[in-house]
Structure 1
């Protein structure tokens, strides 16, 4: 039985689709957006530019705007797919491309297991309410910039690193607001950069994403509070975890012990 879910995301210009197609077949049609499809089970076949193609598990297909194609399941078990629907303007406004108006991709079907699972993870996380606000803000760029870097015909311009004084200012701001949702635009405003420029320059300087840095600051402060004998439930709230279970899981992943095991 076909099951198809269309979801808006918090990121303007990106919508999400999750479907299990068994009987439904797409007639010849086109999209105004880029459709990036990730097959998680089964097989899909489609006709594109006069040629028949097949795509299976751990493969992704990039369907450009305005290109006629169809799509169907050749076998009774059908296929499962996760799709990013991306407005072409998103790439122009969110990636600092060398030639943004000539963006295209080198391959229709990509077999890259690492990238596949990075994009699957991003698709899942873009509607995960347990994530920090900063993580939600950063996910779309992190996932899609990798796709563009490796498989687009144009590249992003080299990123300039943030200076040490700027990084110190950012750290002080984060430490002062650990118990609050921190938005990407707040950090980029401090640096007088666009959110995308900020993400690229931050990672060039630190080697990790802004939300990974924030998570570590939260956990380091949590360790200090636990050593000071503050109850674990209070610690979780003070460092911005509003769910004790997620705090304990993150803490153990970072330190190898649960908060209750720290003496």
Structure 2
């Protein structure tokens, strides 16, 4: 049986996942945050940018924001993983970037480094403990993740993904501001100075998914953030543009394997 636990931390930029996946498989999707996964048992397969990868115990998977991937177990016995979900702004706020346009990236998608894996796994466990002092909670994420960034991180200039005369970032900002409203294809095409047909073709070529599927995932990802903030399922459903709580809950569970009420 799949067992999935989503937990918030006192640092709003970091949340945690501890999961034992057997039957649950991730469709192609993306995240708004960095996902840093620690394989603690079993074997997983996933595709990323057209390449298939297999990972097992001791591997660290770095999945950047906005990059499509899927995931499922290789073995009938499943796989176990601990995941840090970290907002990109957390790195910006805690690292000394030299230019406002700098962004963090990682040199490798999959890292096999026992000297790094062990302290990261320990950090994940400690952050799930309820009685840590405030100073420890303030210091430990920086100390624990600092080694990962120091060894495998790099800074690069933010690269805009063009969509007509706009960019994906501009489109995302527009949609995030209008998630509670009906969105028409013509609106998005006009924003990018393209015809509806051109917009669909350009979007699919850039993102490898349809605008509708991408928007649905954006609504679910933003819905997760709002659920973590303490809003009720009904409030979240209205804010991210679902017809009602039932439709939101069904889509949420399909994406994450748990209902919104299971998020701590």
Partner of 1:152: 153
Cα offsets for 1:37-61 (capped at 9, x unmatched): 0000001100001010011001100
* Distance 1:109-1:99 versus aligned 2 partners, 3 A rule: farther
Tell me the matched-pair count: 155
Map 1:116-131 onto structure 2 (within 5 A): 116-131=117-132
2:36 is equivalent to residue 36 of structure 1: yes
Q: Say if 2:66 is the partner of 1:56.
A: no
Q: Structure 1: which 4+ aligned runs deviate by more than 6 Å? A: none
Q: 1:62 to 1:49 in 2, by over 3 A?
A: same
Deviations 1:107-147 (CA, angstroms, capped at 9, x unpaired): 00000101111111111111223433321221111111111
Whether contact under 8 Å (2:30, 2:69) holds in the other structure is yes
Specify which structure has the higher proportion of strand: 2
In structure 2, the partner of 1:215 is none
Written as runs of structure 1 = structure 2, the 5 A alignment for 1:162-173 is: none
Do the aligned partners of residues 111 and 76 (structure 1) sit closer, same or farther apart at CA in structure 2, a change above 3 Å counting? same
- 1:91 aligns with 91
Q: Distance in 2 between matches of 1:139 and 1:64?
A: 22
Structure 1 CA distance for aligned equivalents of residues 24 and 63 of structure 2: 19
* Contact preservation (8 Å) 2:7, 2:15: yes
- Report the Cα offset of residue 4 of structure 1: 0.3
| Preserved CA contact (<8 Å) 1:36 1:61 | yes
CA contact (8 A) 1:98 1:154 kept: no
Higher CA-based Rg: 1
The alignment partner of 2:119 has SS state of: helix
Give the Cα separation in 1 of the matches to 2:153 and 2:25.
29
- 1:54 aligned counterpart, secondary structure: strand
Shift of 1:99: 4.9
Rounded to whole Å, the distance in 1 between the matches of 2:91 and 2:71 is 25
- Does 1 or 2 have the higher relative contact order (CA < 8 Å, sep 6+)? 2
Q: 1:119 to 1:99 in 2, by over 3 A?
A: farther
What is the TM-score when the length of structure 1 is the normalising length? 0.57
The residue aligned with 1:115 is 116
Distance 1:97 1:145, change over 3 A: farther
CA distance in 1 between counterparts of 2:54 and 2:68 reads 16
State the shift of 1:148 in Å: 0.6
Q: What does residue 138 of structure 2 align with? A: 137
Gapped regions of structure 1 (runs ≥ 5): 156-263
**Are the counterparts in 2 of residues 99 and 154 from structure 1 also a CA contact under 8 Å?**
no
Give the whole-Å Cα distance in 1 for the aligned partners of 2:69 and 2:123: 26
* Contact 2:92 2:103 (C-alpha < 8 Å) held by counterparts: no
Question: What is the root-mean-square deviation in Å for CA atoms of aligned residues?
Answer: 1.4
Consecutive unaligned residues in structure 2, runs of 5 or more: 157-264
